[in-house]
Amino acid sequence: MTSRAYLSELFSLDGRVALVTGGSSGIGRAIAGALARAGARVVVLARGEAELIATTAELTSDGCRAAWVSGDLSTREGVRAAAETAAGVFGEPDILVNCAGINLRPPMTELTDDVWDTTLAVNLEAPYLLGQRFGPGMAERGFGRIIHITSQQAHRAFVQSGAYGVSKGGLESLARSQAEAWSPHGVTCNTLVPGFVLTPLNARLATDPEKVASLAARTMTGRNGLPEDFAGAAVFLASGAAGYVTGQSIFVDGGLSVH
């Protein structure tokens, strides 16, 4: 067997269907592109139609099979409606990537009930509802991959994380509970933990050059993250190669968390 054939067999996503929330920008867009180029049929779920159209147009122009669904993940009704629409495109997903999130981060001393409710709804409850919708089907079919994108704030107090950190900590616990429930049936559930990544979600911090430089200096690589840094990790976790990796938090952060 040639090395190309071996790697293709190990990591190919041919025949798989993936749903990527928040897949029209930042880390989600990079992951959607990686999964599609690895062979999966990808449905990108987000709010803004212009970004969704641009993302899927780029993928289809590269010969990938991709489609988009616009949905509101801030309400249970919106999540459920978006899930059913997404499942009707290429069929029930084998891979679910929860990357959609909101970055409302007032410190605890300024936190309001509305910000708390909205943050938990999008960052934690939506992944829970999508898992409940698609996880049992994956288990019944004997294969599934659930990947959540979390944060350094899931593990440590960092830049006044407030409710955002709570939501991401809960998301890592959700992955472990999902793994306990469904991994005996071939469904792995893991999280990718970014460092500081230059994306639209971090636009507020990215406008402060001194802060950006200080965060880069805290890493072992000497730079902040880019969305494309998550492509390989996502393909690995989504593939057959990661069948014995579940319930884990995998840091893709340039060593920030251990420096």
Measured in degrees and rounded to the nearest 5, phi and psi for residue 195 equal -90, -140
Measured in degrees and rounded to the nearest 5, phi and psi for residue 184 equal -60, -15
Which two structure tokens, joined as six digits, stand for 59?
A: 């993928």
pLDDT at 6: 94
With the CA atoms of 130, 92, 101 and 12 taken in that order, what torsion angle do they form, in degrees rounded to the nearest 10? 130
C-alpha to C-alpha distance for 252 and 149, rounded to whole angstroms = 10
> Could you tell me the CA-to-CA distances from 226 to 27, 170, 198, 214 in Å, in that order?
8, 25, 6, 16
Instruction: Choose among 86, 92, 162, 179: nearest CA to 126.
Output: 86
Q: Are 258 and 60 in contact (CB under 8 A)?
A: no
pLDDT at 200: 75
pLDDT at 66: 98
Annotated catalytic sites, by residue? 164
Burial class (CB in 10 A: 0-12, 13-18, 19+), 21: buried
Per-residue pLDDT of the chain (259 residues; tens, 9 = 90+): 899 899 999 999 999 999 999 999 999 999 999 999 999 999 999 999 999 999 999 999 999 999 999 999 999 999 999 999 999 999 999 999 999 999 887 888 999 999 999 999 999 999 999 999 999 999 999 999 999 999 999 998 877 878 999 999 999 999 999 999 999 999 999 999 999 998 877 766 667 888 889 999 999 999 999 999 999 999 999 999 999 999 999 999 999 999 8
Q: Are 27 and 194 in contact (CB under 8 A)?
A: yes
Instruction: Choose among 248, 15, 17: nearest CA to 137.
Output: 17
C-alpha to C-alpha distance for 73 and 54, rounded to whole angstroms = 20
C-alpha to C-alpha distance for 162 and 12, rounded to whole angstroms = 39
Q: Where are the alpha helices (DSSP H) in the chain?
A: 3-11, 26-37, 49-61, 76-90, 113-120, 126-141, 162-182, 203-206, 209-217, 231-238
pLDDT at 142: 98
Q: Which residues pair with 45 in a beta bridge?
A: 21, 69
pTM as predicted: 0.96
228 Cβ partners below 8 Å, 6+ apart? 30
C-alpha to C-alpha distance for 184 and 243, rounded to whole angstroms = 11
Phi-psi region of 166 (alpha: psi -120 to 50; beta: other; left: phi over 0): alpha
